[in-house]
Structure 1
Amino acid sequence: MPDREAEINGGVVVYEFVGPDDGEVVVITPGGRFSKDVGGLHELAGALAEGGKRVLLWDRPNCGKSDVQLYGRSESHMRAETLGLLLRQLGVDHVLVAGGSGGARDSIVFTMMWPGLVRKLAVWSIVGGTFSTMTLAGVYVLNELRVVRSEGIEGVLKMSGPAGGWADLVAANPRNRERLLDLGTDGFERAMNRWLDAFVPKPNEPIPGVSDWEFEGIKVPTLIIRGGERDFDHPKRTSMEVHSLIAGSRLIEPPWPEDAWERALEASFAGTGNLFDPWVLAAPVLLDFFKEV
């Protein structure tokens, strides 16, 4: 299906549907600042579509072809608000929510913020713990703060990176240059300072920017795929912590090898594969979970 656009909170969000028009909608959200077109994502969407689902893939704000947006308590909270408003605009009354890595965090926050829209939640490769949380501070915020403080917003416009940088967002969507310039050096720095708080490790936050008590708000059936044994970016411990905090959730063994993330990273860096290639292996367990009454 071709890309479609919707305006949410003054910014364009690019999205597409995969699968039959009459299928129940599944929203898939990836990690990083990767677009919906990142390798591995359409393969998972296609497998779910073959199972009768209508899959919504979307470029979150600050990803792919969508407009840059910088507001809210954290980037995940901003994206969760955007997704809820997008679904309302599309007339979708309920969804099955699925996400991995940063997309797991976005999906969890979305379920907390829009409980009436979610029928079931499935997440995997959940970021948490000191190492991975501090790593994300470097990926998403700290370099931005260094650059904006030394070079201003013009320096930010030159930033690029493997997980998607601001220069890449401008290349994919030229509107983003003016949007960043309009925000300006001070506005960008204020947003980064605010978003940094989510990535300061705290003992009461099993995942970045989300406190223990907030998980009580998740009342829907939830499937959690356990993190790999030595996946330091998405620790096994974190998936077990989230499982313990969501009443009635189910924790299952990963449908991919224990070192799938590490091998996918290597393949991505070598140009022989994609970071999210293993995710298609989750399609059978996701479809089974979604079919349960």
Structure 2
Amino acid sequence: MPDLTVNGGKVRYELIGPEGGDTVVITPGGRFGMEYRGVRPFAEAFAAAGKRVLIWDRPNTGASDIQLYGRSESHMRAETLAGLVEQLGLGPIAVLGGSGGARDSIVFTIEYPHLVRRLVVWSIVGGAFSSISLASVYVLDEIRTLRRNGIDGILALKGRAGSWSDLVDANPANEQRLRDLGAEEFERVMWQWFEAYVPKATEAIPGVADHEMRQIDVPTLIVRGGEGDIDHPKRTSMEVHSLIRSSRFVEPPWPEDAWERGQALRDAGKGGIFDPWMDGVPTFLEFIDSEKGI
């Protein structure tokens, strides 16, 4: 698969679908790359509808180079996506993202509005529980490990999908990138990224001020969070809708408990957390193709 160098790091990507089609970029959540279960079939469904679809391994996912800089990990990824889109000559594009990919997509739209013509987000993380949960997943273990065992400890971290050791397995050059970065700089970035996950009254989603969200004026589709989804609360989706005046708010196109059911199926080895996204394809296509978007 091809890659491009953006801000000193290689970014793995793939374009699917006819060259003349409107461009859509799909960004999943977690530290999951474009080959994670559910992402490619979702992209292929848009390609089958005539779209030119960009899927990519964000920095710190899949086979792309590890990168550590910026106000938050989402801000770093937004900057990376902007470089990728500009080098490929793709903008303006429809930007789609779920879970952590929703946050990345919102930041991208805030920072690079000239590259976005539609924004579609679902499974949005926000609120005290899910924000603190993300801190435990993405930065707290890293800080503790660095202080005890340095970069060697980071390289040995396992136990969750998208660990640093997984990133080295997928791209061996990442080991040297981590060693060159060093424990002191790694820890400095972790503390900076940690700030995004500290719940704040003026941030509906981690690391994004409400006043920044109000700047979004591209047509936006927001899918309501599930009633029982503590990781992507219904309340957060409603808050984001209230902040983005150009947004349309819709009921989930998948079962109410899709997230919980997806986790159970994943843990049983019978499915994946992103599989339900396929149910959203018709709704998302209708919005992308609509004249006004709202």
**Bucket of the pairwise TM-score, normalised by the shorter protein:** over 0.9
Which of the numbers 54, 57, 61 marks the counterpart of 2:55?
57
Q: Which residue identity does 1:129 align to in structure 2?
A: G
Give the CA deviation at 1:248: 2.5
Which residue number in structure 1 is paired with residue 161 of structure 2?
163
TM-score, length-normalised on structure 2? 0.98
Counterparts of 1:110-259 in structure 2 under 5 Å? 110-259=108-257
CA offsets, 1:80-139, max 9 Å, x none?
Answer: 000001111111121000000000000000000100000000000000001000000000
The letter of the residue matching 2:98 is G
Work out the number of aligned pairs and report it: 291
Paired residue type of 1:198: A
What SS does the corresponding residue of 1:203 show, helix, strand or coil? coil
2:69 to 71, 84, 90: 71
Runs of 4+ displaced beyond 6 Å: none
| CA–CA distance in structure 2, aligned partners of residues 260 and 154 of structure 1 | 38
Tell me the distance in 1 between the aligned counterparts of 2:238 and 2:5: 37
CA distance in 2, matches of 1:28, 1:184: 32
The alpha carbon displacement at 1:185 in A equals 0.7
CA distance in 2: counterparts of 1:100 and 1:111, whole angstroms: 14
The DSSP-based 3-state class of the residue aligned with 1:6 is strand
Q: What is the alpha-carbon distance in structure 2 between the residues aligned to residue 262 and residue 161 of structure 1?
A: 20
Kindly provide the amino acid, as one letter, of the partner of residue 244 in structure 1: S
Distance 2:269 2:66 in 1: 28
Residue 275 of structure 1: aligned partner: 273
The separation in 2 between residues aligned to 1:57 and 1:227, in whole angstroms, is 24
Q: Which residue of 2 aligns with 1:89?
A: 87
- 1:162, distance to aligned residue in structure 2 (A): 2.8
Listed as ranges, the gaps of 5+ residues in structure 1 are none
Task: For 1:64, give the aligned amino acid.
Answer: G
Contact 2:216 2:246 in 1 (8 A): no
Question: What value does the CA root-mean-square deviation take over the aligned residues?
Answer: 0.7
Q: Residues of 2 paired with 1:42 and 1:200: CA distance?
A: 33
Give the counterpart letter for 1:74 in structure 2. Answer: S
The AA in structure 1 aligned to 2:65 is D
Which secondary structure state, in structure 1, belongs to the residue aligned with residue 121 of structure 2? strand
Kindly indicate whether the alpha-carbon contact (under 8 Å) linking 2:253 and 2:279 is maintained by their aligned counterparts in 1.
yes
Aligned residue identity for 1:195:
W
User: Aligned residue for 2:105?
Assistant: 107
Report the secondary structure of 1:217's partner residue.
Answer: coil
Q: What are the Cα deviations for residues 150-207 of structure 1, in whole angstroms up to 9, with x where unaligned?
A: 1101100111243310000000000000000000110110010100000001111000
Shift of 1:51: 1.1
Cα displacement string for residues 216-240 of structure 1 (whole angstroms, at most 9, x for unaligned residues): 2211000001000000000000000
**What letter corresponds to residue 169 of structure 1 in structure 2?**
L
Deviations 1:4-45 (A, max 9, x none): 100001100000011111111100000000011111111111
The separation in 1 between residues aligned to 2:285 and 2:37, in whole angstroms, is 21
- Letter matched to residue 16 of structure 1: E
What secondary structure sits across from 1:63 in the alignment? Answer: coil
In 2, the alpha carbon distance for the partners of 1:243 and 1:22 equals: 32
Give 1:146 shift: 0.8
For 2:159 and 2:21, how far apart are their aligned partners in 1? 36
What is the CA–CA distance in structure 1 between the aligned matches of 2:273 and 2:65, rounded to whole Å? Answer: 24
2:260 aligned to 259, 262, 282, which one? 262
Q: Map Cα deviations across residues 68-91 of structure 1 (whole Å, 9 max, x no partner).
A: 000000000000000001111111
Unaligned runs of 5+ in 2: none
> Residue 274 of structure 1: CA displacement?
1.0
CA distance in 1 between partners of 2:246 and 2:159 (Å): 39
**Structure 1 position 149, deviation (Å):** 0.7
